[in-house]
């Protein structure tokens, strides 16, 4: 029997391996750009009097996050200008993308969406591209920098940092904007990105990426090779595995699109929504994040993936229950948000760990970006129809339906778990307290 007292704590892990501390700080910078080009910015646009239909269309400024797999292969094969000699290939791309994020945020800050929306659009597009590139480069570094048995813990620290960054870019940016204006808010966000840049300088560069690459394959070879390698390695299991990844987040995307309209329809105040979903929800999600790491250690990755699939979909029934209540009940609201937030964070960590194992070391950035795009595209496209569905069937039946979507996904997860041999050595997470 393992002596619990002998297990290193989370703080011990942070102190003993600088990769964990670096991963937390890099996760923080990953959590900021998306909100600043999407939901947080929509609040600024609303205050500026931009028409609602325009604000809706500007949601597509995040398109780079859905198609980042297109340029991700080049980040595996080509060195960044200037910085490669100083930091290596992966850390060089990380810092370059963060510099681009900072410059884009400064550009957005000095915009005037009320009178010159095209300035805001241009710099927001640049921000989305730089943010998506940062995600690709950091994920590539994470997969290559740590062995398989440390990936789940690396993911947990990344998710913890990510959620703090999202909190800063969400609630933090809104608070600063309310007191000092949007320009100051976005400039503060630009300054906070430097946290990740400092971490990149101190993060250990994988030995394989320290030296410049001189072979530069052509476009077709660069883009197609990662896809071909992944499909070939998976063999006949490519279809069920990729279908599992494509369907895993689909119920969550549909639910996320209609959660806020549900809260507003129940006349829950903006203050209560911000407090419960952002502040209290942060700690709930953090608990789900580290709980997932513990369960992976105890039960194994694939069995935990099945649990995450079931829990993530079933948690939507809490929103159906909230809708059935039909009134602003604070306790019911907190309970529903807690259940859904915990389950989502749990499932997210397990999915990230699974996709990280599927990605090869040499093509880490390319294949992980491909898998995350595959995970996002079906659900994000279907989410566009969620409003029409709610108008037809109501919130209660809608959320019951999103839970039922998870049934075939769970069956597919069970099938893959029971029949598919591991593509690579299964991750054995570090023992934690």
Q: Output the DSSP codes for 3-57.
A: -GGGSPPHHHHHHH-HHHHHHHHHHHHHTSHHHHHTHHHHHHHHHTT--HHHHHH
Reported as a pLDDT band with limits 50, 70 and 90, residue 188 is: very high
Same domain, 118 and 228: no
Number of domains in the chain: 2
Q: Are residues 210 and 226 in the same domain?
A: no
Confidence at 429, pLDDT banded by 50, 70, 90: very low
What number of other Cβ atoms are within 10 A of residue 251's Cβ? Answer: 27
Query: Residues 409-427: what's their mean pLDDT?
Result: 71
Same domain, yes or no: 116 and 154? yes
Lowest mean pLDDT among 1-15, 136-150, 203-217, 356-370: 1-15
Q: Is there a single domain that holds both residue 275 and residue 130?
A: no
Mean pLDDT of the chain: 81
Average pLDDT over residues 103-117: 92
Question: Which of 201, 216, 231 marks a domain boundary?
Answer: 216
Q: Name which of 126, 122, 81, 118 is nearest 102 in CA terms.
A: 126
Residue 48: give the domain boundaries: 1-216
Q: Is the pLDDT of residue 146 over 50?
A: yes
In 10 A of CB 356, how many CB atoms? Answer: 23
Residues 129 and 23 in one domain: yes
At 112, phi and psi to the nearest 5? -140, 85
Model confidence, pTM: 0.70
CA distance 355 to 378: 17
Token pair listed for 379: 């659900």
Q: Are residues 177 and 286 in the same domain?
A: no
Are 196 and 237 found together in one domain? no
Q: What pLDDT is attached to residue 381? A: 73
pLDDT above 60 (res 428):
no
Q: What is the pLDDT of residue 127?
A: 94
State the residue for tokens 């079933």.
Answer: 314
pLDDT tens digits, residue range 320-354?
999 998 777 888 999 998 999 899 889 988 998 88
More confident residue, 145 or 134: 134
Q: pLDDT digit string (tens) for 24-72?
A: 999 999 999 988 887 778 778 877 887 756 766 676 777 788 888 788 8
Instruction: Report the half-sphere exposure of 103 (CA within 13 A, side-chain side).
Output: 10
- Checking if the pLDDT of 213 tops 70, the result is no
What is the dihedral sign for C-alpha 228, 423, 10, 299? positive
- The verdict on 405 and 361 lying in the same domain is yes
**Single residue among 216, 237, 266 that ends a domain in this structure:** 216
Distance of alpha carbon 381 from alpha carbon 250, whole angstroms? 10
Residues 65, 186: one domain?
yes
Task: Give phi and psi for 150, each to the nearest 5.
Answer: -105, 0
Same domain, yes or no: 271 and 170:
no
**CATH code of the domain in which 161 resides:** 1.20.1250.20
267 φψ region: left (φ > 0), alpha (ψ -120 to 50), beta (else): left
- Do residues 375 and 351 make contact, with C-beta atoms less than 8 angstroms apart? yes
Q: Are residues 212 and 338 in the same domain?
A: no
What gap in Å lies between CA 103 and CA 106, rounded to an integer? 5
Angle at 249 between CA 172 and CA 135, to 5 degrees: 50
Which single residue is written with the structure tokens 């640049």?
Answer: 126
Of the segments 98-112, 234-248, 300-314, 371-385, which one has the largest average pLDDT value? 98-112
- Which of 190, 216, 242 is the last residue before a domain boundary? 216
Q: In terms of domains, do 235 and 302 share one?
A: yes
């Amino acid at each position: 029997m393992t002596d619990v007292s002998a297990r290193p704590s989370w703080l011990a892990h942070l102190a003993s391996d600088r990769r964990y501390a670096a991963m937390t700080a890099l996760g923080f910078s990953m959590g900021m750009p998306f909100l600043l080009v999407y939901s947080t910015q929509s609040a600024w646009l609303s205050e500026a009097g931009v028409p609602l239909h325009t604000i809706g269309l500007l949601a597509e400024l995040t398109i780079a996050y859905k198609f980042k797999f297109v340029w991700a292969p080049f980040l595996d094969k080509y060195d960044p200008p200037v910085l490669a000699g100083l930091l290596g290939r992966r850390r060089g791309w990380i810092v370059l993308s963060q510099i681009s994020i900072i410059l884009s945020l400064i550009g957005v800050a000095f915009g005037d969406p009320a009178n010159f929306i095209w300035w805001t659009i241009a710099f927001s597009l640049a921000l989305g591209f730089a943010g998506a590139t940062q995600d690709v480069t950091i994920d590539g570094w994470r997969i290559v920098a740590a062995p398989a048995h440390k990936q789940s813990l690396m993911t947990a620290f990344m998710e913890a940092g990510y959620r703090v960054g999202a909190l800063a870019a969400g609630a933090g940016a809104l608070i600063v904007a309310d007191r000092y204006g949007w320009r100051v808010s976005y400039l503060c966000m630009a300054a906070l990105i430097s946290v990740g840049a400092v971490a990149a300088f101190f993060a250990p560069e994988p030995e394989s990426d320290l030296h410049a690459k001189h072979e530069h394959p052509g476009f077709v070879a660069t883009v197609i090779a990662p896809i071909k390698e992944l499909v070939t390695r998976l063999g006949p299991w490519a279809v069920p595995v990729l279908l599992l990844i494509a369907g895993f987040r689909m119920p969550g995307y549909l639910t996320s699109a209609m959660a806020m309209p549900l809260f507003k329809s129940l006349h829950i105040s903006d203050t209560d929504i911000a407090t419960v979903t952002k502040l209290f929800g942060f700690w709930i999600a953090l608990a789900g994040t580290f709980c997932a790491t513990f369960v992976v250690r105890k039960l194994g990755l694939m069995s935990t993936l099945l649990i995450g699939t079931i829990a993530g979909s079933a948690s939507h029934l809490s929103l159906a229950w909230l809708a059935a209540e039909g009134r602003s009940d604070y306790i019911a609201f907190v309970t529903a948000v807690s259940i859904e937030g915990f389950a989502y964070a749990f499932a997210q960590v397990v999915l990230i760990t699974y996709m990280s194992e599927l990605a090869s070391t040499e093509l880490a950035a390319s294949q992980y970006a491909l898998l995350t795009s595959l995970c996002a595209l079906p659900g994000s496209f279907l989410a566009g129809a969620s409003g029409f569905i709610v108008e037809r069937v109501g919130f209660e039946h809608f959320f019951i339906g999103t839970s039922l979507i998870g049934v075939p996904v769970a069956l597919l997860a069970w099938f893959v778990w029971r029949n598919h041999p591991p593509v690579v050595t299964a991750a054995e997470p570090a023992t934690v307290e």
